[in-house]
Amino acid sequence: MRESRALPGVLDATLGLFSLLLLPSTVFSQTDPATEPAVLAVAKVLPAVVNINTERTVRRQVSDPFDDFAAQFFGVYRNRPREIRQRLQSLGTGFLVDPAGYIVTNEHVVERAANLKIEVITNDNKSFKARYITGDAKKDLAFIKIDSDQPLPFVNLHDISPNLLGQTVIVVGNALGYGSSISRGVLSGVKRDITIDNIDYHDLLQTDAAINPGNSGGPLIDLSGRLVGISSAKMAFTPQGIPTQGLGFAIPAEIVRQNVEQFKKIAEKQPTPKPGAAEKETGSSSADRLFGLQLQDLTNDLAAALGLASGKGVLISAVEPDSPADEAGIERGLVIFRIGKYEVNSVKEVESLLARADSGSSVDFAVGVVGRAGRGQRVETVNLEAR
SS3 labels along the chain: CCCCCCCHHHHHHHHHHHHHHHCCHHHCCCCCHHHCHHHHHHHHHHHHEEEEEEEEEEEEEECCHHHHHHHCCCHHHHHCCEEEEEEEEEEEEEEECCCCCEEEECCCCCCCCEEEEEEEECCCCCEEEEEEEEEECCCCEEEEECCCCCCCCCCCCCCECCCCCCCEEEEEEEECCEEEEEEEEEEEEEEEEEEECCEEEEEEEEECCCCCCCCCCCEEECCCCCEEEEEEEECCECCCCCECCCCEEEEEHHHHHHHHHHHHHHHHHCCCCCCCCCCCCCCCCHHHHHHCEEEEECCHHHHHHHCECCCCCEEEEEECCCCHHHHCCCCCCCEEEEECCEECCCHHHHHHHHCCCCCCCEEEEEEEECEHHHCCCEEEEEEEECC
pLDDT score, position 307 = 80
pLDDT: which is higher, 302 or 82: 302
Nearest to 359 by CA among 386, 337, 336, 320: 386
Nearest to 347 by CA among 304, 282, 292, 287: 287
Please give the torsion angle defined by the CA atoms of residues 239, 242, 243 and 246, in that order, rounded to the nearest 10 degrees: -60
Residue 75: pLDDT over 60 = no
Whole-number Å distance between alpha carbons of 120 and 103:
10
Averaged over 81-85, what is the pLDDT? 55
Give the model's pLDDT for residue 77: 46
pLDDT for 280 beyond 50: no
| 168: β partners | 186
CATH of domain 286-385: 2.30.42.10
In this prediction the pTM is 0.62
Chain segment 14-48, per-residue pLDDT in tens: 555 555 555 555 554 567 888 999 999 999 999 99
Catalytic residues: 108, 140, 216
Residue type present at position 26:
T
Looking at 112-121, 191-200, 294-303, which range is the least confident one? 112-121
Provide the greatest CA pair distance for the chain: 141
pLDDT at 55: 77
CB 279 within 8 A of CB 133: no
Range with the largest mean pLDDT of 22-26, 193-197, 239-243, 295-299: 295-299
- Break the chain into its structural domains and give their ranges: 168-253, 286-385
What CATH code would you report for 168-253?
A: 2.40.10.10
Count CA atoms closer than 13 A to 273's CA, side-chain side. 15
